[in-house]
Amino acid sequence: MSLATIIYAGMRQYERPSLALVLMGGGARTAYQVGVLRAVAGMLQSQPGAARSFPFQILVGSSAGAINATFLAGRALDGLHAFAQLAEFWGRLRSTDVYQLNLPHWLRFSRVALVLGLSRHLQVNGALLDSTPLAALLREGIAFNGIDDALRARRIDALAVTGSSYNTGVHWTFCHTASRDAFQPWSHPGRRAEFQPLTVDHLLASSAIPFLFPATTLRVDGREEHFGDGAMRQITPLSPAMHLGARKILVIGVGEPEQPALAIDPLSTPTRGPTLGSMAGHVMASVFHDTLQADVEQTRRVTETIHSLPPEAVAAMRYQAIEVLAMEPSQSLDALAQRYTTELPVPIREALGALGMLKGSGGTLASYLLFEPGFVHSLISLGESDAAAREAELLALLAGE
């Protein structure tokens, strides 16, 4: 993120301080965010005399994180109950509600035929999976009308969803605010923002993992472009929240803890090299490359630098630090997913197995596709546990204690 964005955000004066929720992408892994948020709701409810209103004024999401953010925005008028509703939404999910593999059944009886069929399918459709079930799920499960209701009631100020254009390479942020006229777009090299009321297509575009899900067409700058996952080219995940007026930010990522040993493929040798599963996991990790900590660290460094200036200079700048709290899993989600790969739908498991993508570090790829109860509930429990361990920090940010 540019220094100008951080400094300008800290010097702007707002009618009311805004608390932002930023949800990073990661397919099924984003169930972790549900656990953190459900725990947060419980913390806020337990505070003596605490309000039960929805705590976030700005919501920003990318990939599956965009789905979570939009779900919450549509139910912001329900207050803290919105987080319980999000948990119920995830609790009912199955992989078949999100995607399907459209291949003739007879291909499953021949590994060679299956591999050839998958290759042909990718060439024709540009993606391995069909996201039609996801479109139906979003239309039924997300209260898009509730977003406008929450904006008009000033329960929230903005909802922003990101996508990456395959046509131009530009990383776009689509912002849904109460007024088009009051919205101030931004444009930086490779990053742009535009006012657009959000729809199912925006969420399909933002969550279209390359090679797995098909691109979605959106209209920008008066022309149609094909969009894929919002995590691609996402180099400044906190920037949209700051542009939209955040004074405090809770950001929840779903990346891997820093454990170098996990990067070693146990089935890889100097002569054999990495397995396809290991390479697929590496590619997915690159697509969802987590720049979160770099953004957080830069925001803190700017604050420390400004506060080290002479008091007269600090007073003249009227700079207020942007408070950021970043939550990420304390355990490896790749290793956790490895325990539940048998829960994948049989056609998906056979297809990935035929391609050799479940060997070695195959848990990495599976972790993005495992919308199944075992994995989802484990992620939610981990999110709740991690949030409980940082309760004091969370309450200090959210409740000002």
Q: What is the token pair recorded at 25?
A: 């992408």
Give 142's contacts (C-beta < 8 A, 6+ positions apart).
67, 70, 71, 74, 200, 203
Each residue of 130-164: pLDDT tens digit?
999 999 999 999 999 999 999 999 999 999 999 99
**Which residues are identified as catalytic?**
63, 229
pLDDT at 236: 81
CA 18 – CA 322 distance, rounded (Å): 10
What confidence tier does 255 reach under pLDDT thresholds 50, 70, 90?
confident
Overall average pLDDT of the 376-381 stretch: 98
Percent of the chain with pLDDT over 70: 71
Q: What is the mean pLDDT of residues 160-184?
A: 93
Out of 31-45, 95-109, 186-200, 291-305, which region has the weakest mean confidence (pLDDT)?
291-305
Predicted TM-score (pTM) of the model is: 0.86
Instruction: Give me the pLDDT at residue 293, please.
Output: 65
- pLDDT computed for residue 102 by the predictor: 72
Structure tokens at 64: 């599956």
Burial of 369 (0-12, 13-18, 19+ CB in 10 A): buried
367-388: average pLDDT: 96
**295 pLDDT above the threshold of 70:** no
For residue range 70-107, what is the model confidence (pLDDT) as tens digits? 999 999 999 999 999 999 999 999 999 999 987 666 55
Taking domain 3-102+128-256+276-333+373-398, whether its CATH number is 3.40.1090.10 is answered by: yes
Which of 122, 137, 62, 77 has the alpha carbon at shortest distance from 291? 62
User: Looking at the chain, how many residues does it have?
Assistant: 401
pLDDT reading at 347 higher than 70: yes
Contact 237, 24 (CB under 8 A): yes
Q: Where are the domains of the chain?
A: 3-102+128-256+276-333+373-398
**Letter for the amino acid at 13?**
Q
